[in-house]
Chain A
Amino acid sequence: MRVSFFSTCLGDRLFADACVDAVRLLRHVGATVEVPAGLTCCGQPALNAGYAQEARRAARHTLEALGGADWVVLPSGSCTAMMRHHVPELFEGEERRHAEALAARTYELSEFLVRVAGVERLGTGLSGRRVAYHHGCHALRLLGEHDEPLRLLAGAGAEVVDWRADRECCGFGGLFAAKLPAVSAAMADAKLDSLPDVHFVTSADGGCLMQLSGRAGRRLLTTRFRHLASVLWEGVGTSVGLRTAP
């Protein structure tokens, strides 16, 4: 399995360690990982703000950089949804066919591990951990990703606790968070205020984690937020002696 790993712009700058862990996970399940040169951003920030032209430019660049990749894996449900659903719609003709063909081979990390690599159990390194999982809206609704991350977490021994608001939006929404910060923060509060007692919150989406942790930090809450890739790698690591849980 040759996988082209696309860190995404947010992953590159804010979740570099999680991206490293994602690469390790992919190698762990037998993939040969490449990071194509020149990748920047999928274009989602522009698309969601109504800038279709600008989004098309970023998307075209991304399609060219990824070229004829066998598989594309991203550590983000939202960017994966962009690649799979919105990018093809930005193009016509040959470009659209290329985008559609690539979309069919593009996966969010946990989705790839379960649906393509066929992995359910990574290790047992998460035993004793109480975890809350935040479902990113686009992973949930556009990728139809309901239980892949949960199965992987549980498979590695974590206890994924019930959280009433686990499928509610964190309030990020790209430009929305900056245009309407008070509403966006209140949405994060609705999630944080219903959070059960856990060791940490995790999600396949870095944008959501940035929003939730940023709001929690402003409120001086001590909740920890960790990217799913790092959590799952911890699940592998302990059992194979590569890593110990912090």
Chain B
Amino acid sequence: MMPDGPAGYPERSKRSIREQPGVRRAVSAATRTFDGGREAAWREIDAARWRDWLRDVKRHALTHLDRYLEVAERAMERNGVRVHWAETAADALDVLDGIVRAAGVKRAVKAKSMLTEELGVNAFLESHDVTVRETDLGEYIIQLLGQPPSHIVGPAIHLSVEDCRQLFARVLGTPPDATPDALAAAARAALRTEFLKADLGISGGNFLAAETGTVALIENEGNIRLSTSAPRIHVAMVGIEKLVPRFVDLSAFLQLTSRSATGQPIGNYVSLIQGPRGDDERDGPEEMHVVLVDNGRTRVLADDRAWEALRCVRCGACLNICPVYRQTGGHPYGFTYSGPIGAILAPGLLGLEEAMPLPYASSLCGACADVCPVRIPIPDLLLYWRERAVEAGLVPSAERAAMHGFAVAAERPTLFHLAGAALRAASSPIGRRSLPVLGGWTDERLAPSFSPKPFHRLWREGIE
């Protein structure tokens, strides 16, 4: 299911906090566990140097993207992969449609992929009479519930075990008191038959090594391995920003992404896929396609500030540590990518107007920048998009007027002190009624208590 768009973030986040305390509890607990894992896993290595290196390699790849894309295309074609280029989501879905029609696909299994969420692959295929089954446990759960993912790595992070117990009792007939292991076993049994029946396996790609044309995938459940090898056709949809130059570069990227996402030294399964089944091989698909997807990335790349966000490896570390994200999970953001990275990707990928007000969904605490494995300056980019929003006139006119007034007063001490005295009066119970602009503050908090005399007067009167 596709998210609803960022515009409703203020209302949705408020409703989530008021009406779904269980979501706040589940997200808060799970993100703390993830972040604790990351912290411990980073302590085992010289994380600062690894992060520098990853940042530099990605910077190099992105600033030479035209070259590496061609290198990658040639390598993949040598490997027997059919390479497609998609400028927009519609183009990507057209490519998929062509593959599905040509091969008469009726059933598809999907490995977890945020790009396919971004493109709306499931809804598209369903509307073309292809049955789609998500095979990552979390994705499977939210597919059954008709929800979009609420976290880049843990799509069902907002749900409790009890939520899953009730869902599986209804859909799979598990006992109402089933253990988590029993629930996973029931899902595994149900999914096993789906793998065997599917004609098509769709995956994303964590990385694409240009030199060898290798699609690299990290996972823990084995479902990606099965989705990409059991059906007769495998389609990998890969964002063009996922390129790394050399095969050997994958080593550090796979490890630091795992350490940053879940705290594991490396995912339980790493698939390095380099083409369809060879004549001398017994496993693997007959056909392999890679769809290289732009969908706004070139536009982001052309922006000399925003392009840094394209380094993102989708580990979710910034979501896990974000105190804003922790209160609601990802759904209120209304965009495939939530949390701090979503708030800086949305303006680039959707356009700023469409992405409002996500650049404001942050207190600018800076925790995200502390944990980004590719050192994306997320707080700086949030501020950058806010400045762009002001320039583009996408902010309320009352706010603009207030800020203009602020600047005028800040240059005139007498006026500034008068304004301060007026604010003090306005924060009294009577004043609050006449100045509804303070409502945003006092809905949730007591009005601040002003000092009886401001400091500048106490100073003039003399300090003992």
Contacts and interface: CB of A to CB of B under 8 A. Distances in A.
Q: Decide whether A and B assemble into one complex.
A: yes
Interface string B365-403: 111011000000000000101111110000100010001
A210 interface: yes
Given A179-B360, A180-B360, A12 B454 contact: yes
A7 B423 CA distance: 17
Given A176-B364, A178-B440, A214-B445, 12 more contacts: A14-B449, A16-B453, A49-B390, A58-B410, A168-B367, A179-B440, A183-B361, A187-B324, A188-B445, A210-B448, A214-B448, A215-B444
Interface string B397-422: 00100011011011111001000100
Given A11-B455, A173-B364, A215-B444, A47 B17 contact: no
Nearest to A39: B413
B178 interface: no
B362 interface: yes
Contacts of A185: 444-445
Interface size of A as a range: 35 or more
Interface stretch (A98-106, A112-120, A137-145, A151-159): A137-145
Ranked 7 nearest A-B pairs via Cβ: A50-B386, A173-B363, A214-B445, A16-B451, A178-B440, A217-B446, A169-B365
29 contacts: A13-B450, A15-B451, A16-B454, A16-B455, A16-B458, A41-B416, A49-B403, A50-B383, A50-B386, A50-B388, A54-B403, A54-B406, A57-B410, A58-B411, A137-B365, A169-B365, A171-B323, A172-B363, A173-B365, A175-B399, A176-B364, A177-B441, A178-B440, A187-B324, A187-B327, A187-B363, A190-B323, A217-B445, A218-B445
Given A176-B364, A178-B441, A43 B386 contact: no
B461 to A, nearest CB: 10
Interface stretch (A19-27, A66-74, A125-133, A195-203): A19-27
Nearest to B15: A182
Nearest to B10: A180
Interface string B436-448: 0000110111111
B424 interface: yes
B433 to A, nearest CB: 17
B12 to A, nearest CB: 10
B297 interface: no
A70 to B, nearest CB: 18
A13 B362 contact: no
Interface of A: 7, 9, 11-17, 19-20, 23-24, 35, 37-41, 43, 45-55, 57-58, 60-61, 137-138, 141-142, 168-169, 171-188, 190, 210-211, 213-215, 217-218
Nearest to A33: B463
Interface string B262-306: 000000000000000000000000000000000000000000000
B360 A176 contact: yes
Contacts of A39: 413
A7 B455 contact: yes
B455 A20 contact: yes
A58 B420 contact: no
B451 A187 contact: no
A54 B401 CA distance: 11
A7 B416 contact: no
Interface residues of B, number: 66
Interface of B: 10, 13-14, 17-18, 24, 28, 323-324, 326-328, 357, 359-367, 369-370, 383, 385-390, 395, 399, 403-404, 406-407, 409-413, 416, 420, 423-424, 440-441, 443-456, 458-459, 463-464
Contacts of B367: 137, 141, 168-169
Contacts, number: 195
Nearest to B326: A190
Nearest to B460: A35
A33 to B, nearest CB: 8
Given A11-B455, A16-B458, A137 B413 contact: no
B403 A182 contact: no
Contact of B387 (A13, A15, A50, A60): A50
B441 A169 contact: no
B443 to A, nearest CB: 5
B366 A187 contact: no
B406 A46 contact: yes
A240 to B, nearest CB: 13
Given A23-B463, A180-B13, A54 B363 contact: no
A211 B459 CA distance: 26
Nearest to A136: B365
A19 B453 CA distance: 12
A13 B423 contact: yes
Contacts of A54: 403-404, 406-407, 410
B413 A38 contact: yes
A214 B447 CA distance: 6
Contacts of B440: 177-179, 181
Contact of B324 (A52, A55, A183): A183
Contacts of A138: 366
A137 B363 contact: yes
A41 B423 CA distance: 15
Contacts of B441: 177-178, 181, 214
Contact of A57 (B28, B328, B411, B451): B411
Contacts of A176: 360, 362-364
B463 A183 contact: no
B292 to A, nearest CB: 34
Nearest to B412: A40
B304 to A, nearest CB: 16
Given A137-B367, A181-B441, A184-B444, A13 B451 contact: yes
